[in-house]
Amino acid sequence: MLTRVRVRLRAKRTEDVAQDYAWGQDRELCELEAAIPISIPFSDYQRLFAMELRQEPKGCVRFSIETSNGEHIGNCMCYQMDEGKGEAEVGILIGNRAYWDDGYGVEAIDLLLEHVFTTTSLDKVYLHTLTWNYRAQRCFAKCGFMPCKEEPRWGRRFLVMELDRRRWEVGRYKEDPPPQQEGGSNQVAGD
């Protein structure tokens, strides 16, 4: 269990299946994630879900996002983990809209990054987000991700954002301005 003040990441559980199925069928959420809404019957989804609980897909680690009082509000994951290239992709969904725009996404991604950069030797994480998904982009930027290129995929345009270990460690992305030096500017050497 990975914990912050308002958010924790925990392993997926059997009890998550109904909620994940509902989010997976939600057209607006799927549109934001560029995903295809789930169309298989619940019983089939349940079977696949149970299989993935028993055996996590290779190169993939998934978490449920919970509030501090245990409410399951979303999911996040690190996948396509490629030790050769030293990189992996990350993804997040806050499925419960009541928690949007209140900093839960930033806290959850911060925890995921801490997990990735402290338990693996990966040097870089990246993600794809739709070019018009400004909420997601703002959230990722607040966690340190930098936009690096646009990429077409499945007939849509995605923004690729990246964060490397050094940038994460140094924490230069933090938005707090450096302390103002007397009589000087806010410029940081080497910036």
* Residue numbers at the binding site for ligand COA (CB under 6 A): 29, 32-33, 74, 92-94, 100-106, 129, 133-136, 138-139
Residue 129 parent element (H or E): strand 124-130
Q: How far is the CB of 136 from ligand COA (least distance, A)?
A: 4
How far CA 102 is from CA of 84, 105, 107, 108, 129, in Å, comes to 37, 8, 10, 12, 20
Q: How far is the CB of 59 from ligand COA (least distance, A)?
A: 19
Of 53 and 106, nearer to ligand COA (C-beta) is 106
Of 19 and 46, nearer to ligand COA (C-beta) is 19
DSSP β-bridge partners for residue 151: 158
Of 91 and 168, nearer to ligand COA (C-beta) is 91
How far CA 16 is from CA of 22, 64, 115, 120, 130, in Å, comes to 10, 8, 21, 26, 26
Of 31 and 82, nearer to ligand COA (C-beta) is 31
Q: How far is the CB of 53 from ligand COA (least distance, A)?
A: 22
**Which two structure tokens, joined as six digits, stand for 120?**
């693996």
Residue 150 parent element (H or E): strand 146-153
The secondary structure of residue 99, as a DSSP letter, is G
Of 135 and 166, nearer to ligand COA (C-beta) is 135
Q: Which of 134, 113, 133 is nearest to 125 (CA)?
A: 113
Which residue is nearest to ligand COA, using beta carbons? 105
Tabulate helix, strand, coil % of the chain (nearest 5).
Answer: 35, 30, 35
Q: How far is the CB of 103 from ligand COA (least distance, A)?
A: 5
Of 23 and 45, nearer to ligand COA (C-beta) is 23
Q: How far is the CB of 118 from ligand COA (least distance, A)?
A: 21
Q: How far is the CB of 137 from ligand COA (least distance, A)?
A: 7
